[in-house]
Amino acid sequence: MSRQRKGKPTSSKDVPMVKPSEISKKKTRKPLIEISEEEQQRLIKESGVLKQIPRPGQVLSVDAGDLEDMTFGEEVGNVLFHVVPLTFLLIMMDMCVP
């Protein structure tokens, strides 16, 4: 049973059937503001956005304190800690949902 809005009744003829590929072709939006390419380059240089992106071959420095040293047993325990409840939920949903 489908819900209808108050007012005029809707039918499948009211809804236009359009392929998704055609929708993207139709909706080409204009930018909110027009900025020249020189102005865009100036804003990029002043903001320093490109300096935050790592370059290919650039090694990122990582502190040794950031990485946790976990033993194999701790990793297995963490996996079981997550897998067992999720498996239980999956089995319950499979049994209860037709």
Angle at 48 between CA 44 and CA 52, to 5 degrees: 120
Q: Which segments of 1-98 does DSSP mark as H helices, in order?
A: 20-26, 37-47, 49-52, 72-96
Residue environment code for 69-79, b if the CB has 16+ CB neighbours within 10 A, otherwise e: eeeeeeeeeee
DSSP annotation of 17: -
pLDDT at 33: 87
pLDDT at 54: 79
Average pLDDT, the chain: 78
Residue 91 has pLDDT above 70, yes or no: yes
What 40-48 contacts at long range (C-beta under 8 Å, 24+ apart), as own/partner pairs, is none
Residue 80 has pLDDT above 60, yes or no: yes
Mean local confidence (pLDDT), 29-37: 85
pLDDT at 1: 52
Look at the block and give the residue holding tokens 């990122």: 60
Top-confidence residue, 36 or 2: 36
